Structure 1
Amino acid sequence: MSTEINAEDKFTTRRSIGMFSGVFVASGVVIGSGIFVSPHGVFAAANYSVGVTLIIWLFGGLIAMLSTLCYCELATSIPESGSDYTYLTYAYHPALAFLIPWMNTLLPTADSILMLTFARYATEPFFVGSQPPEESVKLVAICLLLFTTAINVLSDKLAVRVQVMWSYEGWNALCSVTEEVKNPGKTIPRATVATIGLVTIVYLMINCAYFSVLSVDEMASSKIVALPFASKAMGGASWIVPLTVCLCTAGSYSAGVLTFGRGSYVAARRGHFPQIFGMLHVHKHIPSTALALNCMGAIMLISIGQFSTLIDTFGFVNWTFKALSTLAVLIIRKRLPELNRPYKVPIIIPVFLFFLSFFFVVVPLINNPHFLYFYALAFFAVGLLYYFLFVHKGYKIPGSERTTRFLQKLLQVAPCEWENTI
């Protein structure tokens, strides 16, 4: 009798994301509230030129498309979830890669911003003539956060369906859930390329709509261009725009939980986070404990509320990791030449994107140096200290194993069957 275990019988995540659901999920992560707020900043940066503004939006779509091609090679040659964390692990060193889930789990600024954006638009109609109380905004944000996390914990299929209903932001989103994508070698490249093409067209159409209704002065004077557009074009139906912003931000967070929420799970199963967060629910095959960890980080940040400084401080860090990920394409080619690569991106593309990302990292540091950048360095230094003590040296907190067993029984989770794929 054969003792081999069928791949479908292994206790691991299930492949439930196909081509169309993949497009919806990736599109949902890309289209948040930005298209309703960003046009003012882009228009000002273009010196209030309509033509230059549209070129900038088109250029942004082109850069996203080129970045997608790099991630397509990485995702199809390394069929593991985790996106940047996984690729940096193979290309550089696990300690460097660890800093990504360290930052995303403890300082989920993007998630907090999305939830607060939703909450502000949702509560403003109930406080006519005044700003809604900050406590009310935070409470609504936390309620939506818990609701969305609960949906993802209950079922990844349910999460995809809700995502399809809510919005159509993350060109690399599917790389975070590679192990849950059907036929990833074909689905990820097709879905991500289709996503960027779709989003670019949508962004250009929305900007053309803005320019066809609003004058240059109206565009220049409003930071949230969608609001005067709605008042002028829709009249009594202008409430549709705040509703749309709420749905898009909620959908973007829902997709983010489904995709980037897997980062702490992948890190934990490699031993970089406590073991409990690398386990799956025994019935649903979902990393429920990891999703709960990410939810707690976002709740803490929303409760504090004062995190605009964190965005400025850690913005350049994200570009640093993107630069390292694009360069990882060439490093992994040299380090692991035997990998099966269904798709290979032309060398010039990762080289160009590396220097472009490097430019976005260096220029702000030169033009606007700030002592707060040292806080980012201190934060990552603490992360490296954690890695050295609890991962490299293997120190364990007394009673941690007993606590893990108790939580396993309480939460009905167990270690997944996983091994390095390369």
Structure 2
Amino acid sequence: MALVAKPDLRPQIPNFSSGPCAKRPGFTLEALAGAMLGRSHRASEPKARLAEVIARSRAILGMPTDWKLGIVPASDTGAVEMAMWSLLGERPVDVLVHESFSEGWATDAVKQLKLDGARVLGAEYGALPDLSAVDPGHDVVLAWNGTTSGARFPNGDFIAADRQGLVICDATSAAFAMALPWDKLDVVTWSWQKVLGGEAAHGMLALSPRAVARLLSYKPPRPLPKIFRLTSGGKLIEGIFAGETINTPSMLCVEDALDGLRWAESIGGLPGLIARSEANLACIADWVATSEWAGFLAQDPANRSSTSICLTITAPWFAALDPGNQAKVAKRLAAVLDAEGVAYDIASYRDAPPGLRIWGGATVETADIAALLPWLDWAYAQLAQELASPKAAE
């Protein structure tokens, strides 16, 4: 491959990590000046800030009014674990696996919870499981967007409206960037550190009336750690859904979450957030359409994520390499871009096929995506030339 001229234009913000993700445009630490530092989160003013995170999140996402939304420990992982350990076991469960995090939920269901009737419906990275196999009589656990695979569910049509089971949806890299079918879901979780660029701290747990009914009628045949408990004395712990978190939150992270939510409102709420993310995907799709060496890991356009955009190297010479050398080449490509200061943290996830992963969530400017793409071509040309040299052949 001929050498490509080194681009002149650089992304203004080269942060394309898939978590923690880029801060919202124009962010400075001054935005956190009003944080309730040194205060108890149980005091009235700090508690009001936590309740404000809940209220603004509900409003932006268009969550049904009869749902509960709370702040819980340990980011999205804590929220999903809390739901699985508290709700599963009453009926069989189907776990839909198409990337590493949903594979972790399958491990929980099969090896940790040891649930009777647990079925793992799997697919390769970039694809989706056989959705026709989902049993409406079973509970379902899924990750709406494959953060490590770049594939998302395009809609909820595969979920029966008259289902008997609950649907637990890990939406950590989907919430605020994709339209979620609330009528087809019963538990929805996410973290602050993804689409709105918040700092890692607590997760968010949303429960439908059906999920609440399960909590009140079903007692899991297992001990629950304190941070997993959503009921007490046969009643829902309502404080969790009113800003009374189970353990101590960072009020600095709370202020940061509020800053991201206010920014989201300023750009038009959920429609504005979705439009920004979809524009980032479209920019990369236009480039891939003419690329001689790059393709999408998710080949079906209907299933491609607009947030975690995963690319593969399609050149024949790369395909001829063994998996170990493919991984080394892909990491080297990411390292070249990192060294130039034009793209940080875009190597594919460690368990995913070798390639690149570019975060396209709403806090990323499409202009920065556009500025990055010529650098991808430049870095690839550098690497191809390097590997074709006599020294490399030795």
Bin of the TM-score, shorter chain as denominator length: under 0.3
Higher helix share: 1
After TM superposition, the score normalised by the length of structure 2 is 0.27
More relative contact order, 1 or 2 (CA 8 Å, 6+ apart): 1
When normalised by structure 1's length, the TM-score is: 0.25
